[in-house]
Amino acid sequence: MINIIEINRSDFETSCPKDVPYCYSPVWLDVYANVFCYRPKYYHIMNDRSVIGVFSFVCIKSMLFGNRIVSMPLSDEGGVVLFDPSSISLEFKQEIVGQVSRLLKQEARLQNVAIIEIRGYNPLVHEYDADKLFLKKKVYVRFVLDTGRDYNSLQANYQTNIHKNLKKAQQHIAVDECVSVAAIPEIYNIYLLQMRQFGSPPLSIDYFSCLLESLVAKIFLAKKTGSGIVGFLLVFIYNNRMYADINASLLSYNSCFPKVFLFDESIKWACMNGIRTYDFMRTRTGSGVYEHKKKWGGTEKPIYYYYLTTKQQRELLLDPEQSRFVLPKRILQHMPLGGLKRIGPWIRREAGK
């Protein structure tokens, strides 16, 4: 008999095995609570009296985008995590999906939610499909490198223009590791400039500080003699996996390829420090960023999003490439940095992306 029981955060953390998705780790739960003011709801998946999995989600109340339930915001992981999925029968897995969908729809009614979103890889993929209640979309993929291999053998698989750009970068750029939060304001300014260029709402500066102070994150700095910091790469590490979260540089130094050098140096660090995999994180299929990340030789893995809607409105699905976001992007591209710094994190929180 499958039951889903609501629990508190302490019980959730205690019961989670070590290999849960990073968004279920204590550090990230602190980020959700302290940086974004999200209040996740936590659940045990029970088979009679035995805990066989966990589940969590956030209800986002948004004036901009409507009320939504998201498995875990700002992440492509999460959803239902089964401790030992191979030991659970197909019948029980399908029962779990049915129970989860009923729980989510009940919560949606209570919270006046129009759309429910379960993101990322999940061991119940085929059962979600079989449920026929979830709309499945694949807009993004991720590229993952096996950094358990020797660095030189990994580098040999880079495509030719990556090697060419690395040679140019090495002539002008040096890469160091950020050792103090005192550098974050300068780093954050570079990030703001890039997000304005993209017309995208930025994360708050507290996001950087919280991760760096937690010791799960590293910031690699690209420096040019006489110019100081011209770029940075924020990565975080969990369960011997490195996630390349934010790679940003000053537009005027792009010809020196600091971003390429930062990726390469962080990959080298991962290989030398026992990190098993290097995840380039979410990338839109067919984009210029997709083509660039593909050149590093990683394995392409799909990222599926699953939706339940309580209203038949296509615009409930949030996608920054939708035509309705063309004007907001242009506004952000022309916004003073001070305004972007104030309003951008609020938009990002409302979107949960």
Tell me the pLDDT band of 347, cut-offs 50, 70 and 90: very high
Question: Within a 10 A sphere around the Cβ of 27, how many other Cβ atoms?
Answer: 17
How far is residue 286's CA from residue 187's CA, in Å, rounded to a whole number? 29
How far is residue 45's CA from residue 343's CA, in Å, rounded to a whole number? 38
pLDDT score for 286: 86
At which residue do the structure tokens 């999940």 appear?
122
Task: Give the angle subtended at the CA of 144 by the CAs of 140 and 147, to the nearest 5°.
Answer: 165
Tell me the pLDDT band of 157, cut-offs 50, 70 and 90: very high
pLDDT score for 133: 66
pLDDT score for 281: 93
pLDDT score for 256: 94
User: Do residues 268 and 149 touch, judged by C-beta distance below 8 A?
Assistant: no
Distances (CA, A) of 101 to 92, 96, 114, 134, 307: 14, 9, 14, 9, 10
pLDDT, tens digit, for every residue of 95-125? 888 888 889 989 999 999 888 888 866 656 5
Tell me the pLDDT band of 277, cut-offs 50, 70 and 90: very high
At which residue do the structure tokens 């590490």 appear?
237
At which residue do the structure tokens 């409302």 appear?
350
pLDDT, tens digit, for every residue of 196-243? 999 999 999 999 999 998 889 999 999 998 788 999 999 999 999 999
pLDDT, tens digit, for every residue of 55-72? 999 999 988 888 899 988
Q: Where are the alpha helices (DSSP H) in the chain?
A: 9-15, 26-34, 90-111, 125-131, 151-155, 160-172, 184-198, 205-214, 258-272, 288-294, 326-333, 337-351
How far is residue 38's CA from residue 339's CA, in Å, rounded to a whole number? 23
Contacts of 105-110 with CB under 8 Å at 24 or more apart are 105/308, 105/310, 107/41, 107/57, 107/59, 107/69, 108/69, 108/308, 108/310, 109/310
Distances (CA, A) of 299 to 66, 138, 243, 275, 284: 36, 16, 14, 16, 15
Mean pLDDT of the chain, nearest integer: 89
How far is residue 229's CA from residue 262's CA, in Å, rounded to a whole number? 12
pLDDT score for 132: 62
Tell me the pLDDT band of 88, cut-offs 50, 70 and 90: confident
Tell me the pLDDT band of 272, cut-offs 50, 70 and 90: very high
pLDDT score for 21: 87
Core vs surface per residue 30-68: b (16+ CB within 10 A) or e:
ebbeebbebebbbbbbbeeeeebbbbbbbbbeeeebbbb
pLDDT score for 318: 74
Distances (CA, A) of 314 to 52, 54, 307, 310: 35, 30, 11, 11
How far is residue 224's CA from residue 221's CA, in Å, rounded to a whole number? 10
pTM: 0.91
pLDDT score for 320: 72
Rg of the chain on CA atoms, in Å: 21
Q: Write the secondary structure of 144-174 as one string of H (helix), E (strand) and C (coil).
A: EEECCCCHHHHHCCCCHHHHHHHHHHHHHEE
pLDDT score for 126: 59
pLDDT score for 94: 82
Question: Within a 10 A sphere around the Cβ of 5, how many other Cβ atoms?
Answer: 11
